[in-house]
């Protein structure tokens, strides 16, 4: 686990499961355009939330790459789920700008809803094929850029599924925070 505190915001990278973060007010879904159950992060979140989540999502779909929408969390222990559609790497272009929009829009929705804590997965780095290190640079770079603008969000967590992934994020976090 790596933790930094900057502009009064705690930023941490942890290994774990996105649907097992009960202390976070919001969790982010690496969604599909239709906001349906799917695999990976979306599958884990929808299974844990129950069918009410898909029902709430239906009128909000479809969304475009880079966009984010917010719903309740149903049977999850959190208060909100923020659904982001990441870019399919090499197909939805420019992929870096679209991926940055996901993080920016999710943080903006958090501010608009008075959310204090938010956990992100590594959006687009699974089925959507975004290479991990460039994705980590976009994710953390966008989060760092937003820090001075945040007032309600005071805790940001990135949840990585496996130990190789967390090493990459820790290295990028160290670089960005000058350690
Ligand atoms: N908790 C945290 N991270 C996870 C989990 C989990 N439970 N499961 C996978 N990861 P992905 P994408 C990691 O494929 O690339 C879906 O089927 C995974 O190792 O979930 O944005 C949707 O329906 C990877 O590093 O999201 C969409 O169609 C990262 O989370 C499509 O896949 C993202 O993997 C979205 O693709």
Query: What digits encode the pLDDT tens for the residues 80-128?
Result: 999 999 999 999 999 999 999 999 999 999 999 999 999 999 999 999 9
Split at pLDDT 50, 70, 90, the class of 16 is: very high
How far is CA 147 from each of CA 9, 76, 108, 116, rounded to the nearest angstrom?
7, 27, 11, 13
Is any ligand 1 atom within 6 A of the Cβ of residue 84? no
21 close to ligand 1 (CB < 6 Angstrom)? no
**Confidence class for position 22, pLDDT limits 50, 70, 90:** very high
Distance between CA atoms of 16 and 126, rounded to whole angstroms? Answer: 15
Residue 121 in contact with ligand 1 by CB distance below 6 A:
yes
128 CA closest ligand 1 atom index: 15
Q: Which domains does the chain have, with CATH numbers?
A: 2-176 (3.40.220.10)
**Is the pLDDT confidence value at 179 over 80?**
no
| DSSP-assigned states of every residue in 144-165 | HHHGGG-SS--EEEEEESSHHH
Percentage of the chain exceeding pLDDT 70: 99
């Amino acid at each position: 686990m790596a933790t930094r505190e900057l502009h009064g915001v705690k930023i941490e990278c942890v290994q774990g499961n996105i649907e097992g973060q009960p202390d976070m007010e919001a969790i982010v879904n690496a969604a599909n355009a239709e906001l349906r159950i799917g695999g990976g992060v979306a599958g884990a979140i929808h299974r844990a939330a129950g069918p009410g989540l898909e029902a709430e999502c239906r009128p909000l779909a479809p969304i475009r790459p880079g966009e984010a929408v917010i719903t309740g969390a149903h049977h999850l222990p959190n208060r909100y789920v923020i659904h982001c559609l990441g870019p399919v790497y090499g197909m939805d272009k420019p992929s870096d700008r679209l991926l940055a929009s996901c993080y920016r829009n999710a943080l903006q929705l958090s501010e608009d809803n008075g959310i204090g804590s938010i956990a992100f997965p590594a959006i687009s780095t699974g089925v959507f094929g975004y290479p991990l290190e460039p994705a980590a640079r976009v994710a953390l770079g966008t989060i760092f850029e937003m820090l001075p603008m945040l007032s309600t969000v005071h805790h940001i967590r990135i949840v990585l599924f496996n130990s190789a992934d967390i090493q990459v994020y820790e290295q990028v976090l160290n670089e960005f925070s000058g350690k």
